[in-house]
Chain A
Amino acid sequence: MSESEVDRVTLEGVYVVSDDVVAREIEGEVVIVPLAAGVGDADDELYTLNDTAIAVWRRLDGQRSLRDVVALVCDEFEVRPDEAAEDVLGLVGELARRGIVVRVPGA
């Protein structure tokens, strides 16, 4: 995904985990492993998520909009909606830039 596409990450967007990565849960930690070449900044890099990022990650199901994800995160964590929205957009933007999640077309 290009920088301009990432810049367009909005709360109306719907995202799903890319088929080019594998996510593993190990002892409560989510580890994201590139499967196809070109995912991430380098082919030997892995990513792990913190607790709030895991909460977002699990809701990127290709059905919910990021606005719905923000609402669910606010329900789960004591966080203001504007702060949650900023965090979700930042995280999804970072994941999308690395090709770890992709936007569902037309959603």
Chain B
Amino acid sequence: MRRVAGAFPDASSRLAALEIELTERCDNDCIHCCIDLPAGDAAAAAREMTTSEASGLLDQAADLGCLQVRFTGGEPLLRDDFEELYLYARRLGMRVLLFTNARRLGDDAGRLGGASDDGEAARGRARTGERLADLLARVPPLVPVEVSVYGMRPESYEAVSRRPGSFAQARHGLERLLERRVPVVVKAALLPPNRGEMHDLETWARETVGMTQPVTYAMAFDLRQRRDDPVKDAEIAALRVAPDELAAVLARDRDSWRAAMSDVAARLLGPPGDVLFACGAACATGRSVTIDAYGRAQPCGYVRAPDLTVDVIGRDGRPAASLAEAVERFAGLGELRAGDPEYLRRCARCFLKGLCEQCPAKSWTEHGTLDKPVEYLCAVTHAQARLAGWLQEDEKGWSCPDWRDRVAAS
């Protein structure tokens, strides 16, 4: 018998990983969030996939050899059928990566923001929180639950979440997981209200949560995935951490950052040419698929361009394709070529492209096209390159013919 630890034997499966956004609704209203409808948005809830539709897609994914599903949102635990879908996926032999704010796991700690309350409802939610935590302990997800943390104090957390009581509720939910020894990873978003709390957060993550890896920070916040709110997009863009500061945060542990940059240098540097999906990510091969809350398959959660979207649940008279057909369609994305002149002048010739987050998804959320450079990401990448000693001030990665020598000398 051969044992496989810590890795799934996905090389032979047609679909390595599935992501399902179970809902776009969330019980927080975070200042930086790119996908959050109000928790009580009845119209959105009514459009969401039903339990049987979602479980049917899980069946199809299993038939394609998929062994991992990510449940995300919005806040996936808002779905009343979360436990059912979770167990369904686990009984199909999938491991389940859960992205959550943990509030619903602790929802006897405080009220849902803005909601009226009564004793019966509060008791029901407490049972829900305990039941969810018990379920994750009894039937482990096989991969750590990823909990987003927005601050170390109620004032900072709730300045981000904009929901009174959310800090205590999320902490209580997290504690319930830790009490039950459910593995947890916390992720942070570096924002003005919590900017001074990095040390406290990292100490807490290490000593209380038990994390052995450094906390990761979201800093280059994505604009609205649906491109539906220009006002919110402007607010999100204003919250992005300045490129040089972002690079400094990434390099705060200089040794591990140097090691990571050496790895990038060894594997990823070099002009990519006009191949649009240049990073070789699974989304460009059809081996990873995201399904939104309403049954539309996409190469990833951010690429919502209509011609890269496949309905896998029939709605409003529209016929549905199978998940296998969507996978087959996305498998051809690696053939797409960029046509934007600025992209061809800069990104296609930039030796830093493998370090840069520029991709069709980021271009889509930022510009509504797949191949237009995102200036902020370009600035972030150049800031990192300067910090690494690869570039001088005002130099650009697309006009640096001796880049190999510089990287070797750094």
Residues of A within 8 A of B (CB): 22-24, 26-27, 29, 31, 33-37, 42-50, 53, 91, 94-95
Given contacts A47-B2, A53-B1, contact A22 B137 (CB under 8 A): no
CB-defined A-B contacts under 8 Å, sample of 18: A24-B93, A26-B65, A27-B13, A27-B65, A31-B8, A31-B9, A31-B93, A33-B94, A34-B140, A35-B90, A35-B139, A37-B139, A45-B4, A45-B5, A46-B3, A46-B5, A46-B8, A48-B3
- Chain B, Cβ-Cβ closest to A24: B93
Q: How many residues of B contact A (CB 8 A)?
A: 26
Interface residue? B39 (CB, 8 A): no
- Chain A, Cβ-Cβ closest to B11: A27
Q: Contact at B67–A31, with CB atoms within 8 Å?
A: yes
4 tightest A-B contacts by CB? A22-B93, A27-B12, A24-B93, A33-B93
Q: Contact at B1–A37, with CB atoms within 8 Å?
A: no
Known contacts A36-B138, A37-B138; can you find 18 more A-B pairs with CB under 8 A? A22-B92, A22-B93, A23-B93, A24-B62, A24-B93, A26-B13, A31-B4, A31-B8, A31-B67, A36-B139, A37-B139, A44-B5, A44-B183, A45-B4, A45-B5, A47-B2, A48-B2, A48-B4
Q: Which residues of A contact B91 (CB under 8 A)?
A: 22, 35
Q: Which residues of B contact A22 (CB under 8 A)?
A: 90-93
Residues of B within 8 A of A (CB): 1-6, 8-9, 12-13, 62, 65, 67, 90-95, 137-140, 142-143, 183
Kindly provide the distance from the CB of A19 to the nearest chain B CB, expressed in whole angstroms: 10
Q: Which residues of B contact A94 (CB under 8 A)?
A: 1
Q: Which residues of A contact B93 (CB under 8 A)?
A: 22-24, 31, 33
Q: Which residues of B contact A95 (CB under 8 A)?
A: 1
Q: Contact at B8–A91, with CB atoms within 8 Å?
A: no
Q: Which residues of A contact B90 (CB under 8 A)?
A: 22, 35
Kindly provide the distance from the CB of A93 to the nearest chain B CB, expressed in whole angstroms: 11
Kindly provide the distance from the CB of A11 to the nearest chain B CB, expressed in whole angstroms: 19
Task: Report Cα–Cα, A53/B2, bound state, in Å.
Answer: 9
Given contacts A22-B91, A33-B93, A34-B142, contact A45 B6 (CB under 8 A): yes
